[in-house]
Structure 1
Amino acid sequence: MFSNPLVREIAVVLVIKLIFIYALWFAFFRPGEVRPPLGEELGHALLFSGRAPEPIKPQP
């Protein structure tokens, strides 16, 4: 099946591209990542959480 050098080269390049695409997907769209609350969700979370929010620490 892979006796032809062209077929072997195409298969290797295809596998490398698939691995690269998966790595990009994993870097930007990790499964199980929780998004922060925004807008109304944030207000509701702050008003009804029962605790004071932590102060924002400045980044150096």
Structure 2
Amino acid sequence: MTWTFANGQAVTQSWNAGITSSGSTVTAKNVNFNGSVNAGASVSFGFIGSWNGTNSVPSPACSAV
């Protein structure tokens, strides 16, 4: 899953996903212990974020890779 933080927010901790960021774009990917996800299946993950000032709603996008 990929999303964009518009106001400098950052992920400070996550679980059940490997989180990477490049500029304001954040990507969450499967981690080894979750294995692969079959068609029609689902997984969940979470994160803790931080920010200063304005806090706009992120823009999420999801795609299979």
TM-score, length-scaled by structure 2: 0.19
Which structure has the higher relative contact order (CA within 8 Å, separation 6+)?
2
Q: Which has the larger radius of gyration?
A: 1
TM-score, length-scaled by structure 1: 0.20
Greater per-residue helix proportion: 1
Greater per-residue strand proportion: 2
